[in-house]
Amino acid sequence: MHVLFLAPDTHVYNHEFIRGLKEMGATVTALGPGPKERLSARVKPYLSEYSAVRNLLDEKELETRARDLDRIVRIDRVETIDEPLVVAAAKLRAALGLEGPSVRTAELCRDKSAMKDFLRSNGVPCADSLVVDSLGAAEAFAEKVGYPVIAKPRAGFGSLGTYRIDAAKDLRANLTKLRIGAGGSALLEEFVDGHEGFYDTLTVGGSVRHDFVSHYYPGCLEAMQRREVSPKIVHTNRIDADGYQELRRMGARVNELLGIGTSATHMEWFFGTKGLRFSEIGARPAGEMIWDLYRVANDVDVYREWAEGILVGKTSRTLSRRYSTGAVQIRPSRDGRVQHYEGVERVRQKFGNHIYQSEIPPVGSPTLPLEKGWHVNTWFRLRHPDYDTLKAMLDEIGDIVKVVAG
């Protein structure tokens, strides 16, 4: 089977999914933004053909390049794991007459406003929301639902460009950042107070074959806005507990309503005083190397499982749920260059048996800004059979390790 992969070299994460396809017997070709000579050495052996495109969002250019590859070996699937390319991949599938998530499904998963309107109309509990293109419309919505409200791009990624607005006096300044009043539009949402996490699946033929639950500490918006926070993502192995069954039912229902078919999904949720609320979903795997947490937690090569689902419409392995796994990021004290570390050796001595991966950039390395996400700068990944013990370890590492930059 011939799989065309869009953007094979965005991150080392992409390489793992391509590896899974190759090891499961697929012929993998790719379209990407740079010349073949610049491809990472790790991904080159997995690709039978590669073609550079000027703009991966240009439908005509994508189709032209894809048809060139199709003449060499007929394309059977088009895949990507990059959120901005999900709709482009769906449109290319439609143009080539291939199976996979439809354009409608992809667009609903990309446009947060349309997504919530559709799911809300089908009984899925969501925060109230409205697309606004003027300050007046925003003021009316905020008056209706009450402050605080959340403002975000309609087709954003994670918490980038997302703002919590606590009072009317702050509305104009924050909406200006989203170009409201300058021809732009944005999504305003009712603020939902509570704990935040995500529910991920590998769905094959409309059936959830593997699912995973993880928790954010603290929530994404707080983590993006406060440098002093050491954000944690903790994947639980207690998914069969009674407390998660409502979430699993919601996730399966959302996938069904959206017509996911065969795809990885990444669904964020809140649970608080108003109960369980859907937040948003992507028709692609979670970013930040999250699937590697699942691989370690479950003694399964989840990338090959994904590939098997794509290629032959089934999965073969059972998830062990042996470990909870998690990640903690240590933010530098400021943007600049790393000057020195505190607490690293203490953490290695105390938790070394549970740390399975870490990144500690050398002194002198440039730091990356907070908006680059959870998997940059300094981080540790741990595993332990008990969720609470793992969470306590991650908390302690976040308290002990310091990265001084200047």
pLDDT digits (tens, 9 = 90+) for 98-139: 999 999 999 999 998 899 999 999 999 998 988 888 888 888
Residue of 336, 337, 328, 332 whose CA lies nearest to 377: 332
Share the mean pLDDT of the chain. 95
Distance of CA 147 to the CA centre of its chain: 28
- Cβ burial, residue 315 (10 Å; 0-12/13-18/19+): buried
- Cβ burial, residue 1 (10 Å; 0-12/13-18/19+): middle
Query: pLDDT tens, 210-246?
Result: 999 999 999 998 998 899 999 999 999 999 999 999 9
What is the domain partition of the chain in residue ranges? 2-99, 128-190, 192-314, 323-406
The CATH code of domain 128-190 reads 3.30.1490.20
Helix (H, G, I), strand (E, B) or coil at 14: helix
Tokens of 182: 């300058």
Average pLDDT over residues 254-275: 97
pLDDT for the residue numbered 154: 77
Helix (H, G, I), strand (E, B) or coil at 171: helix
Which architecture, in CATH terms, is 2-99?
Answer: 3-Layer(aba) Sandwich (3.40)
Q: CATH: 3.40.630.10, 3.30.470.20, 3.30.70.1230, 3.40.50.460. Which one for 323-406?
A: 3.30.470.20
Residue of 207, 252, 307, 378 whose CA lies nearest to 5: 307
Q: Give this prediction's pTM.
A: 0.93
Cα R_g (the chain), whole angstroms: 22
Of 159-173, 220-234, 298-312, where does the model show the most confidence?
Answer: 298-312
Q: CATH: 3.30.470.20, 1.10.3720.10, 3.30.390.10, 3.20.20.140. Which one for 192-314?
A: 3.30.470.20
291 in Cβ contact with 303 (< 8 Å): yes
Q: What does the buried/exposed string (b/e) look like for 251-286 if buried means 16 or more CB atoms within 10 Å of the residue's CB? A: bbebbebbebbbbbbbbbbbbeeeeebbbbbbbbbb
pLDDT for the residue numbered 31: 98
Tell me which of 156-160, 189-193, 236-240 is least confident: 156-160
Identical fold for domains 128-190 and 323-406, yes or no, is no
Query: pLDDT tens, 47-104?
Result: 999 999 999 999 999 999 999 999 989 999 999 999 999 999 999 999 999 999 999 9
Cα angle, residue 356 at apex, residues 319 and 239 outer, rounded to 5°: 30
Average pLDDT over residues 277-301: 97
Rounded CA separation 168/142 (Å): 8
Q: Is the pLDDT of residue 264 over 70?
A: yes
